[in-house]
């Protein structure tokens, strides 16, 4: 029987256990989508608690429970949160996440860890996997909008999954922030920091948005006909782009559909302007190695709201590395349980 011992991993421990290895996170991400396709993962839609309410939220919490079966066999939950208030507070991340892992048979929890970096890595890794299958052939130029936490990992993911890429236009309202992030990647790839989204997006093969904007910011007329548009938030692209796209690939349609009027795809489906038949899930693309581009003239969108199974898959990998390398702090849930 597993001891009532919980391994606590603070963010520094999660780093020491290998969270910044993007190639590994990309591999785990693709494995997760393939397992979702085989029905080996139970990943119910996340529940959201928006504060103070759905329309005018300034912060929210998401509860993301998962059981991964197959050769992994772990249960877990991510308690994920974001706060607009934190944007005004230097030193506070916009998103802060915690992950708990449990034994599916005994239901004993065995790890609690910072999930903030896991979130950042797996989020962009899902875009990286999408780009591997959906980006135009020989893509050279990507426009990344939002030089924040997800912007950083998006650079890592696209450099790895689109090897033909040779220029990244990094757009942010805060030019100094884009410049500082570009500097972190000096010598690895050409990154041009900018604050003009129109010139960044025009002619780009891949456009990826990961901002905190609450309304569309990328004009449809700036997007070339065969681009891959990656939307990591819910709001940044215009209705016209979703309607013009030949294919829309998403990480989890049930979850995005539940967003109703808050997200571009579900809003258009609710309004009967967009057929659900145009929506394909990424798990079907990876498992069947679907070639969705039939010509050089197809606009494809990848839309993501984040799936918890990616977090639990990565957290389980981090836990195993931590155990192997004696990383973290052990805590006991009890010394001797009472009231049995
Ligand atoms: N799909 C997923 O799985 C997933 C997971 C985590 C975060 N996200 C989303 O990714 C987005 C970014 O999160 P983050 O943690 O990187 O936030 P962040 O605050 O670290 O970075 C956001 C950046 O966007 C910039 N920005 C805001 N509005 C802009 C605009 N109109 N034009 C250009 N730049 C603009 C900000 O200046 C900031 O640098 C959020 O919307 C978050 O909800 C999605």
- Interval 77-130: pLDDT, tens: 999 999 999 999 999 999 999 999 999 999 999 999 999 999 999 999 999 999
Residue 211 Cα to ligand 1 middle (Å): 3
Ligand 1 in reach of 266 Cβ (< 6 A): no
* CA nearest neighbour of 302 among 246, 261, 221: 246
Residue 337 Cα to ligand 1 middle (Å): 44
Residue 167 Cα to ligand 1 middle (Å): 21
| 48 strand-pairing partners | 62
| 63 strand-pairing partners | 47, 79
User: Domain residue spans in the chain?
Assistant: 5-118+308-332, 127-303
pLDDT in tens, the chain (340 residues): 567 899 999 999 999 999 999 999 999 999 999 999 999 999 999 999 999 998 889 999 999 999 999 999 999 999 999 999 999 999 999 999 999 999 999 999 999 999 999 999 999 999 999 999 999 999 999 999 999 999 999 999 999 999 999 999 999 999 999 999 999 999 999 999 999 999 999 999 999 999 999 899 999 999 999 999 999 998 899 999 999 999 999 999 998 888 755 689 999 999 999 999 999 999 999 998 777 888 778 999 999 999 999 999 999 999 999 999 999 999 999 999 999 9
Ligand 1 in reach of 231 Cβ (< 6 A): no
> From residue 124, how far is each of 152, 254, 294, 302 by CA, in Å?
9, 20, 26, 12
CATH of domain 5-118+308-332: 3.30.1780.10
Residue 72 Cα to ligand 1 middle (Å): 31
CATH of domain 127-303: 3.40.50.720
Burial of 123 (0-12, 13-18, 19+ CB in 10 A): buried
* CA nearest neighbour of 50 among 65, 60, 38: 60
Across the chain, which distance is largest between two alpha carbons, in Å? 67
Task: Name the strands in the sheet holding 190-194, side by side, starting at the edge strand that comes first in the sequence.
Answer: 190-194, 167-171, 141-145, 206-209, 228-231, 300-303, 247-250, 279-281
| 32 strand-pairing partners | none
Calpha distance 327→321 (Å, rounded): 8
Calpha distance 163→301 (Å, rounded): 20
Ligand 1 in reach of 119 Cβ (< 6 A): yes
């Amino acid at each position: 029987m597993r001891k009532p011992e919980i391994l606590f991993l603070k963010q520094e421990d999660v780093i020491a256990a290998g969270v910044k290895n993007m190639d590994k996170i990309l591999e785990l991400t693709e494995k997760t989508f393939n397992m979702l396709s085989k029905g080996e993962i139970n990943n119910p839609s996340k529940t959201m608690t928006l504060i103070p309410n759905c329309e005018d939220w300034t912060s929210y919490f998401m509860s993301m429970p998962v059981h991964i079966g197959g050769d992994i066999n772990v249960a877990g939950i991510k308690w994920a949160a974001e706060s607009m208030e934190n944007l005004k507070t230097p030193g506070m991340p916009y998103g802060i996440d915690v992950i708990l892992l449990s034994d599916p048979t005994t239901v004993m929890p065995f790890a609690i860890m910072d999930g903030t970096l896991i979130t950042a890595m797996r989020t962009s890794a899902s875009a990286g996997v999408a780009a591997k299958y959906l980006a135009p052939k020989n893509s050279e130029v990507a426009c990344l909008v939002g030089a924040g936490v997800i912007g950083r990992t998006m650079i890592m993911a696209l450099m790895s999954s689109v090897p033909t890429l040779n220029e990244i236009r990094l757009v942010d309202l805060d030019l100094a922030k884009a410049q500082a992030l570009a500097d972190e990647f000096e010598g690895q790839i050409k990154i041009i920091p900018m604050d003009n989204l129109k010139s960044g997006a025009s002619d780009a093969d891949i456009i990826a948005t990961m901002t905190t904007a609450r309304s569309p910011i990328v004009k449809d007329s700036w997007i070339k006909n065969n681009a891959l548009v990656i939307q990591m938030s819910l709001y940044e692209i215009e209705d016209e782009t979703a309607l013009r796209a030949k294919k829309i690939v998403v990480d989890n349609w049930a979850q995005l559909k539940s967003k109703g009027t808050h997200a571009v795809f579900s809003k258009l489906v609710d309004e009967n302007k967009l057929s659900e038949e145009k929506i394909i899930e990424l798990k079907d693309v990876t498992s069947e190695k679907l070639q969705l581009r039939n010509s050089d003239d197809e606009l494809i969108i990848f839309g993501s709201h984040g799936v918890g199974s990616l977090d639990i898959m990565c957290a389980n990998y981090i836990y195993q590395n931590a155990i192997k390398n004696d990383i973290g702090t052990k805590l006991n849930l009890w010394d001797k349980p009472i009231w049995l």
